[in-house]
Amino acid sequence: MKVLFCACEAVPYAKTGGLADVAGALPAALRRKGLDVRVMMPRYRGINRNGLEPVQQVYSVIGGTALEGAVWMGTSSDGVPHYFLDQPFLYDRGGLYGEGGRDFEDNLVRFAFFCQSALGLMHKTWTPDLVHCHDWHTALIPAYLRAHRNPLPTLFTVHNLAHQGIFPGEQFPLSCLPPETFTPDGLEFYGNVNVMKAGLVYSHALSTVSETYAREIQTEEFGAGLDGLLRARSADLFGILNGVDYALWDPSVDPHIPARYHAGDLAGKARCKAALQQEMDLPVQAYAPLIGTVARLAPQKGFDLVAAALDAIVATGAQVVILGAGEPAFEEAFRAASARFPHQVRVIIGFDEGLAHRIEAGADIFLMPSRFEPSGLNQLYSLRYGTQPVVRRTGGLADSIVDATPENLRLGCANGFVFDDYTPEALVAAIGRAVAAYRDPLLWRSLQQVGMRADFSWDRVAGRYLELYDATVRRAAERPS
């Protein structure tokens, strides 16, 4: 089966969050299963053309403006062919989706051109058997195919329903879709254009990145205004938890960390912790529980709880290291917290791949108190690094972290600490349990062993995508455009 995998970020070329990790690893795992999967993404600033081959020219008229671009091809180190869409005016910028905390104003044009170009590529250079689209940036592809009566099977994966690509209704012509699609059954959404709806309405099958999130988004609380549509398509909506690329995220091979270690010998972890304390200018104390977190500073991630709970967390004697960038209000709150507790709290504002790995390795406890979390990757990375996660029971966190209740401990399946209520009190109680467990070396050791020996590899997950691709092809055959 030939699959065009369209995503607007992918490791190692461009990354703002977990989508890049997924698009960097899942195609390779699918190729290992024998599929011919190729990735298409924009050529952003920083993706060098050296070593790429020109493939074809593309051309579209969007909102009366003629846009020309070129597709270049390269192969990633794990053997995945990548098509890069080159259009410097649209993509050679200081950010992927925006700059300085603001989205680019022409994002509809930028991603409509990307989707039009994907069609051009499939028409002229390489015709796949299925297109796998990820998030709103690629959601116009299924709509264009439908508009052209092209029955090519399409799967649309939602990584985050909080980002739907909403634009003022007047911009609808920039979507390049026929006017009859600007209705509540199509892209219209309270007078605006909702680009994600194009993917949700016109794809043959839908998926999201955990089973729990697949259920949650069909409720008013988590549906972000699209729960009715998602309920209507419930029979076509699947949930598959993300996997881990253990070539990049495993302390026995990780080049970013100061000492390697594995489940059989954790001595290196103690060295990673001391090095992290030193790097963060915190007292180098082996016995102080070190709580780490790495995340986009967005409301999704539960940082309002962390800010509200910080005094109580610090009172447990723990040290706290936070790496993140995003909303200025969170950045400011955490900078202030860091200044208030200079010996216990360190906040690094920015995006730093190496430090993200060093926190995974050096921390004892990883914090993910998300309000919602479609899948989450850091809790899975933490398990492999022997860093026990404290998470809220939602989305992919609920599907991967097993609370250290007496019952689960007896069964040998506990791997972290889970809380339910979205309140600072519930977070503090869970952290209190984690810190108490940390101070019981035998108990802690057994939690680490369960986590480090678990297998969340993409090779295990890829088989489920194969089944989903087959199901998508069947649906397309049953319901031709």
What residues make contact with ligand ADP under the rule CB under 6 A?
17-19, 21, 294-296, 323-325, 351-353, 356, 375-378
Nearer to ligand GLC, 209 or 428 (CB): 209
209 is in the binding site of which of ligand GLC, ligand ADP, none (Cβ under 5 to 8 A by kind)?
ligand GLC
Q: In sequence order, what E strands does 172-326 have?
A: 188-189, 192-194, 205-208, 237-239, 290-297, 319-326
**Cβ 379 to ligand GLC, closest distance in Å?**
9
Is 361 a binding residue for ligand GLC by CB under 6 A? The answer is no
352 is in the binding site of which of ligand GLC, ligand ADP, none (Cβ under 5 to 8 A by kind)?
ligand ADP
Is 326 a binding residue for ligand GLC by CB under 6 A? The answer is no
- How far apart CA 136 and CA 228 sit, in angstroms, is 18
Nearer to ligand GLC, 67 or 161 (CB): 161
Which pairs count as long-range contacts for 85-91, CB under 8 Å and 24+ apart, including other chains? Answer: 85/40, 85/41, 85/42, 85/43, 85/58, 85/113, 85/114, 85/117, 86/43, 86/49, 87/42, 87/43, 87/113, 90/42, 91/42, 91/43, 91/44, 91/45
The two tokens of residue 445 are: 């050791």
CB-CB contact of 268 with 259 (8 Å): yes
For residue 180, give the 3-state DSSP assignment: helix
Is 40 a binding residue for ligand GLC by CB under 6 A? The answer is no
| Binding span for ligand GLC by CB under 6 A among 95-103, 109-117, 226-234, 375-383 | 375-383
Is 254 a binding residue for ligand GLC by CB under 6 A? The answer is no
**Cβ 13 to ligand ADP, closest distance in Å?**
14
**Cβ 171 to ligand ADP, closest distance in Å?**
26
Is 82 a binding residue for ligand GLC by CB under 6 A? The answer is no
**Cβ 325 to ligand ADP, closest distance in Å?**
5
Those residues with Cβ within 8 angstroms of residue 268's Cβ, 6 or more apart along the chain or in another chain: 251, 257, 259, 260, 261
Those residues with Cβ within 8 angstroms of residue 171's Cβ, 6 or more apart along the chain or in another chain: 108, 193
Is 160 a binding residue for ligand GLC by CB under 6 A? The answer is yes
Q: In sequence order, what E strands does 76-212 have?
A: 81-86, 98-99, 102-103, 130-134, 154-158, 166-167, 188-189, 192-194, 205-208
Is 22 a binding residue for ligand GLC by CB under 6 A? The answer is yes
For residue 184, give the 3-state DSSP assignment: coil
Binding mask 204-223 for ligand GLC (x = CB under 6 A): -----x--------------
Paired residues of 96 in beta bridges: none
Q: Which residue has the tokens 């019952």?
A: 407
Name the residue with the smallest CB distance to ligand ADP. Answer: 18
68 is in the binding site of which of ligand ADP, ligand GLC, none (Cβ under 5 to 8 A by kind)?
none
**Cβ 163 to ligand GLC, closest distance in Å?**
8
In this structure, what DSSP letter does residue 244 have? B
- How far apart CA 332 and CA 347 sit, in angstroms, is 10
**Cβ 265 to ligand ADP, closest distance in Å?**
25
**Cβ 375 to ligand GLC, closest distance in Å?**
4
Is 17 a binding residue for ligand GLC by CB under 6 A? The answer is yes
The two tokens of residue 442 are: 């035998």
**How many residues of this chain interact with ligand GLC, rule: CB under 6 A?**
14
**Cβ 209 to ligand GLC, closest distance in Å?**
4
The DSSP result for 4-59, as a single string, is EEE-S-BTTTB-SSHHHHHHHHHHHHHHHTT-EEEEEEE--TT---TT-EEEEEEE
**Cβ 431 to ligand GLC, closest distance in Å?**
21
Is 242 a binding residue for ligand GLC by CB under 6 A? The answer is yes
Is 360 a binding residue for ligand GLC by CB under 6 A? The answer is no
- How far apart CA 433 and CA 212 sit, in angstroms, is 25
Is 128 a binding residue for ligand GLC by CB under 6 A? The answer is no
Nearer to ligand GLC, 217 or 414 (CB): 217
- How far apart CA 236 and CA 471 sit, in angstroms, is 9
Binding site for ligand GLC (CB under 6 A): 17-19, 22, 159-160, 209, 242, 373-377, 396
